[in-house]
Amino acid sequence: MNILIVGLGALGTVYATFLKKGGHQVWALTKEKYLPFFAEKKVITSGIWGEVSASLNGISSCITPCLDVDFDLIILTVKSYDTYEAICQVRPLVEERTLVLVAQNGYGNYETVSDVVGKSHTLLARIIFGARLRRMGEVEVTVMADKVRIGQPHGAVREEAIVSLAEEMDRCGIPTAYDRDVYLLLWEKIIYNCALNPLGAILACSYGELAENRETRKIMDGIIEEIFLVARTRGISLRFRDAEEYREIFYEKLLPPTAAHFPSMYYDLMAKKPLEIDSLNGAIVKLAKEAHLSVPVNETIYHLIRAKEANYRRKND
């Protein structure tokens, strides 16, 4: 396959490395300021899936070098606040048979991408492995709670094509499976991330430390309870009867394999980068307000993260 990776952060580097090593032709887009780090077009992934290195076909900041390539797959791995700009940038590369895989955190990315390129070109991934960027072009996979699950929430892409893609990614070394209920899985990941990521970033704690602390556990319980209220009111389907059932799975099965993991939001905060709070707790606050619901715990977390961002933006001005 001809594959384009949009964004060479931790996740994009993992996909670029394994897919290229697996025999595919792989190009990548990154921001211009990062191009000097990729002069040799080399990417390296280490960690729990082994050490793999690869040289990509091309790395650029614009699509001009890619215009003559017929892409089978475009994988979007940018931060959620860059989703619209990124999908508009690569829209000219989406041909009749091109699929775009949304491999991002949070709510709203699939909706944004499918609005631009159409549902028949858009696949959704639920990703629950953790990767840490050691330096540009070099990443470590640190933890995995489950395989990557990919699918098309509205049945707009042939199931056989998605199954084939999942099997190929799995063969290349990224544990992947097809799931027709991928949108349900994404919402479970949204709940997981809303409960853990901002608190881990603010308090500089691993997921396990958050779960072991009685006070942070109360906050996480409140976040989860409010999200279930929003989902129930907004007609968003979930696989769990209520927040209590989800919390049991969350603390006993989902969290333990990732207990030592620090959220990517923590590393972004340390690097004074913009944070993906709008697609997580911020999205919950927005959905709640539209339904005239009160979600004080999520709203407080949202404003705490915004305050952190404002502090380091002000210091940089």
Active site (catalytic) residues? 189
Listing from the earlier edge strand, what are the strands of the sheet with 99-102? 58-60, 25-29, 2-6, 73-76, 99-102, 122-126, 148-151, 176-178
* CA 95 from centre of chain: 24
Q: How many CA atoms lie within 13 A of 53 on its CB side?
A: 6
Cα–Cα distance measured from residue 96 to residue 105, given in angstroms and rounded to the nearest whole number: 27
Q: How far apart are CA 317 and CA 299, in angstroms?
A: 27
How does strand 52-55 pair with strand 25-29?
A: unpaired
Order of strands, edge to edge, in the sheet holding 42-47? 52-55, 42-47, 138-144, 129-135
Asked if 44 contacts 68 with a C-beta cutoff of 8 angstroms, the reply is no
Residue that is written with structure tokens 């191009």 in the block: 35
Helix ranges (H only) for the chain are 10-21, 83-90, 109-117, 159-171, 182-203, 207-212, 214-234, 243-249, 264-270, 281-290, 296-316
CA of residue 260 relative to chain centroid, distance: 19
| Crossing angle for the helix pair 281-290 and 296-316, to the nearest 10 degrees | 130
CA dist., res. 65 & res. 124, Å (int)? 26
Residue with tokens 């990062």: 34
Cβ burial of 311 (10 Å; 0-12, 13-18, 19+) is exposed
